[in-house]
Structure 1
Amino acid sequence: MKVDPVLARIGEAVALHHGRGRRDDARRLFTQIWTEIGGERGDPLHVCVLAHAMADVQDGVHDELLWDLRALTAAGALTEADVARAGVPLTVAGLYPSLHLNLADCYRRLGEFTTAREHLRLARAGIGALGDDDYGRLIRTGLERIAEQLDPRDR
């Protein structure tokens, strides 16, 4: 299957950040791609994936939260056909645990614990959509970490 060129470029920016520690370069590339896709009016899959990644390169939790909320909104407009056509190895439902995990973390850091717990609950409710692979284990580990940071009763 042909790789979606926008998703490939987003992947390059993610690699700049996570693989090479070049956060500012990644943010510049994300910003360039964001402009090219038309921002929030762009293809919902591109908006979702880009906003989800852009959140990770923000300087403050409020900005991170705005990008995470954009990603969640865009996910709501996705269909299974959208993700399959782009060659994404997840279902639409498989996107939500990570989106809610990031939102739970943002709200926890903002001291909005009730909202953080709700996103933690939503992430856990959707975890069955993930496989027992590296990605699924990464999200599960993240959920346990957030639960521990919120309250031992959340484990």
Structure 2
Amino acid sequence: MACSYKRRVDARAYKHYTEDTLKTAVNQIVSKKISLRKASRHFGIPTGTLSNRLNKKHNIKPGHPPVFTDEEGKSFVKHLQVVGEWGFPFDNFDIRIFVKNYLASKGKKVPQFVNNCSSTEWAVLFFKRYKDQLTYRTCQNIKRSSCSIS
């Protein structure tokens, strides 16, 4: 399952307007200053889009809802930071096992996760989502000769 889609060069263009112009057009239609069709022509917004916005259709976010809430994600980040300070850095596999144990302790079953264990893709996207707070580092072992010098 691919997460980052690349748009084809020859694909048709969508949304030639900004969110501000859409809000302005809807406000003028609601205040009866301009009709729906005139607003469509004036602002360059399709009539269907204006109609849907006026009738409050399609107002939910597309895509699957997130598995964890923002608070849970932030608590995961805080836990990873504390464990990293202790000298036990987590990698993708460790965060997946941590999440599986968290779900088991809460008694939660996530149908998207096989055996209630998140995928590697989920772990990569988790680190990407919190990249300003988490960094991925690999440890380097030091030789015994360097260790004994101190």
TM-score normalized by the length of structure 2: 0.23
- Larger RCO of the pair (alpha carbons < 8 Å, separation 6+): 1
Larger Rg: 2
TM-score normalized by the length of structure 1: 0.22
Name the structure where helix makes up a greater proportion of residues: 1
